[in-house]
């Protein structure tokens, strides 16, 4: 079964509030089976335009990634991100080869 991923592209407007979001979302998403494989770090735009920060969280399946995103505890904390950053959040399915 292919893995699932939550992918975020984020531009932070309020760094202090965003740090609070990170501190609170990490234990929730990890408890739901998530594993952060990209979180910020160096990046370079090779084509087009994008946000400043990129996050990839791996889950055992697409359904697990969707469930984690829709989890009420996560959604409560996600409100901090919505208020402190501009973001595009996707849930995607990995390849069959995984």
CATH number of the domain bearing residue 4: 3.30.70.100
- In-domain check, residue 96: yes
- In-domain check, residue 14: yes
pLDDT at 83: 97
pLDDT at 96: 81
Full pLDDT tens readout for the chain, 98 residues: 899 999 999 999 999 999 999 999 999 999 999 999 999 889 999 999 899 999 999 999 999 999 999 999 999 999 999 999 999 999 999 998 65
User: At what angle are helices 15-31 and 72-84 packed, to 10 degrees?
Assistant: 160
- In-domain check, residue 3: yes
Number of structural domains in the chain:
1
Assigned token pair, 21: 């979001």
- In-domain check, residue 54: no
- In-domain check, residue 60: no
């Amino acid at each position: 079964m292919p893995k699932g991923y939550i992918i975020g592209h984020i531009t932070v407007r309020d760094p202090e509030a965003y740090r609070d979001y990170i501190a609170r979302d990490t234990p929730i998403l990890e408890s739901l089976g998530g594993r952060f494989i990209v979180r910020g770090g160096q990046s370079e735009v090779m084509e087009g335009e994008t946000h400043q920060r990129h996050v990839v969280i791996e889950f055992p399946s697409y359904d697990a990634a969707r469930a984690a995103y829709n989890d009420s505890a996560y959604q409560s904390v996600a409100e901090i991100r919505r208020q402190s950053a501009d973001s595009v959040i996707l849930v995607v399915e990995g390849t069959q080869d995984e």
